[in-house]
Amino acid sequence: ALLPPRAAFLSVFVYLLLGAFGIPIFAGFKGGIHVLTGMTGGYLMAYPLMSFLTSFLANHFKKWKLLPLALGMVLSLILCYFIGTLWFAFISDTSFYYALTLCVFPFILFDLLKIILALSTSVVIKKVLYKSVLND
């Protein structure tokens, strides 16, 4: 939400590259290509697309302020769920629905709460950044 779409995509892509090279920056202090090719790798692979989509909507529809950012975050979450669950179902040789019951349904409420927190945090950060730029 704070970076332009290309920079948002690239920053998350670099994060994935660092993790792929073994730097323990993924959940549980894990790193390595095996994390990206493992059962939850699809969720991680969705991150660059998520950051691009959220940033694109937030930056191209600025006049509506919070709505495009919220929409971008919700659509990005759905994209993450879809890509990650497809990957999980493929790797674990289970049905898509069964993968949803394991990997999505238990987390929906918590993920929506994180979106609300991210929205409020990004609004505050944008205001602080805007004021600091004006004061320079």
| Position 136 confidence tier, pLDDT thresholds 50, 70, 90 | low
- Cross-strand partners of 26: 30
- Phi, psi torsion values for 30, nearest 5 degrees: -100, 155
Cβ contact 41:80 at 8 Å: no
For 35, the token pair is 């994390």
**Lowest model confidence (mean pLDDT) among 23-32, 37-46, 54-63, 67-76:** 54-63
Q: List domains and CATH numbers for the chain.
A: 5-135 (1.10.1760.20)
| Position 127 confidence tier, pLDDT thresholds 50, 70, 90 | confident
Q: What is the DSSP letter of 30?
A: B
Closest CA to 15 of 37, 31, 39, 38: 31
Integer Cα distance of 36 and 33 in angstroms: 5
The pTM score is: 0.89
Residue 13, CA atoms < 13 Å, CB-side half-sphere = 8
Residue 127, CA atoms < 13 Å, CB-side half-sphere = 8
Q: Is 23 left (phi over 0), alpha (psi -120 to 50) or beta?
A: beta
Integer Cα distance of 67 and 71 in angstroms: 6
